[in-house]
Amino acid sequence: MLDLSIPIPNGKHQALLVSAATAVSAYYLFSFLGKEKKSGFKEIPIPGSSLPIFGHLFSLGESSMHTLEQWNKELGPVVQLKMGTQTWFVLSDPFLAHEIFASNGLIASERPLYTFHNLFSHGGLGIAFSNPTKRWKKARTSVLEMLAPSRVMDFSDILHFESDHMVKQLLTTTAKEGQFNPLMVLNAASLNVVTTIVFAQRVDSVDDPLFKEVMEFLRPSNEYLGVEGPITQYFPALGFMDTLLGTKRFFRNYLATIRDPLIDKLIKHGAESGKDCLIKNFLEYDIDPKDLIVMMSDLILAGTDTAAITVSWFVLLVSSRPDIQQKLRAEIDAFYNTHHRLPTFKERDELPYMISAQKESMRYRASTVYGLPHMLKEDLVVRNYSFPKGAIFIPNLRGMHMNPDFYTDPETFNPERFLHDPRTMTASANGNINNRDHFNFGFGRRMCPGIHMAEVQVFNACVRIFARCVVAPPLDADGNEVPIDSSISLQAGIVHLPGDHEIRFLPRTDSPLNESVSA
Ligand code: HEM
Q: Please write the tens of the pLDDT for every residue from 106-162.
A: 999 999 978 899 999 999 999 999 999 999 999 999 999 999 999 999 999 999 999
If one residue of 218, 441, 455, 494 were mutated to test the ligand 1 pocket, choosing by the most ligand atoms within 8 A of its CB, it would be 441
Query: What is the per-residue pLDDT for 232?
Result: 78
Is residue 186 within 8 Å of 211, Cβ to Cβ?
Answer: no
What are 65-108's pLDDT values in tens digits?
777 777 877 888 899 988 877 889 999 999 999 999 999 999 99
Find the 311 Cα to ligand 1 centroid distance in Å: 16
Separation of CA 164 from chain center: 23
Is residue 151 within 8 Å of 266, Cβ to Cβ?
Answer: no
Find the 295 Cα to ligand 1 centroid distance in Å: 12
Q: Quote the CA–CA distance of 218 and 433 in Å, as a whole number.
A: 33
Is residue 376 within 8 Å of 389, Cβ to Cβ?
Answer: yes
| Residue 194: other Cβ atoms inside 10 A | 25
Produce one character per residue of 99-137: b if its CB has 16 or more CB atoms within 10 Å, e if not: bbbbebbebbbbbbbbbbbebbbbebbbbbbbebeebbe
Longest dimension (CA), the chain: 72
If one residue of 218, 359, 364, 448 were mutated to test the ligand 1 pocket, choosing by the most ligand atoms within 8 A of its CB, it would be 448
Query: What is the per-residue pLDDT for 198?
Result: 96
- Binning pLDDT at 50, 70 and 90, where does residue 62 land? low
Query: What is the per-residue pLDDT for 72?
Result: 78
Residue 448 marked as a ligand binder: yes
Closest protein CA for atom 1 of ligand 1: 307
Closest protein CA for atom 18 of ligand 1: 448
Find the 408 Cα to ligand 1 centroid distance in Å: 27
Q: Quote the CA–CA distance of 202 and 450 in Å, as a whole number.
A: 19
Q: At how many degrees (to 10) do helices 451-468 and 322-339 cross?
A: 90
User: Which is the closest atom of ligand 1 to the Cα of 442?
Assistant: 16
Instruction: Spell out the residues 6+ positions from residue 127 whose beta carbon is closer than 8 angstroms to its own.
Output: 136, 139, 140, 143, 294, 295, 298, 449
Q: What is the percent of the chain with per-residue pLDDT over 90, rounded to a whole number?
A: 72
Q: Quote the CA–CA distance of 404 and 421 in Å, as a whole number.
A: 19
Closest protein CA for atom 20 of ligand 1: 448
Query: What is the per-residue pLDDT for 493?
Result: 80
The amino acid that residue 338 corresponds to is T
Domain ranges for the chain: 131-227+236-365+411-517
Find the 349 Cα to ligand 1 centroid distance in Å: 25
Is residue 185 within 8 Å of 504, Cβ to Cβ?
Answer: no
List ligand 1's pocket residues with C-beta within 6 A: 127-128, 140, 143, 194, 298-299, 302-303, 306-307, 310, 367-368, 371-372, 440-443, 446-450, 453-454
Query: What is the per-residue pLDDT for 63?
Result: 63
Find the 384 Cα to ligand 1 centroid distance in Å: 30
Instruction: Spell out the residues 6+ positions from residue 396 whose beta carbon is closer than 8 angstroms to its own.
Output: 68, 69, 72, 90, 91, 92, 369, 370
Least confident of 110-119, 200-209, 429-438, 471-480: 110-119
Calculate the alpha carbon distances from 460 to 23, 329, 342 in Å: 43, 14, 9
Closest protein CA for atom 6 of ligand 1: 441
Q: Please give the CATH topology (third level) of the domain spanning 131-227+236-365+411-517.
A: Cytochrome p450 (1.10.630)
Query: What is the per-residue pLDDT for 516?
Result: 53
Is this model's pTM higher than 0.90 or not?
A: no
Q: Quote the CA–CA distance of 63 and 109 in Å, as a whole number.
A: 27
The yes-or-no verdict on residue 167 having pLDDT over 80 is yes
Average pLDDT over residues 401-425: 96
Question: Between β-strands 2-4 and 78-83, what pairing exists: parallel, antiparallel or unpaired?
Answer: parallel
Q: Quote the CA–CA distance of 301 and 219 in Å, as a whole number.
A: 9
Find the 229 Cα to ligand 1 centroid distance in Å: 18
The amino acid that residue 489 corresponds to is S
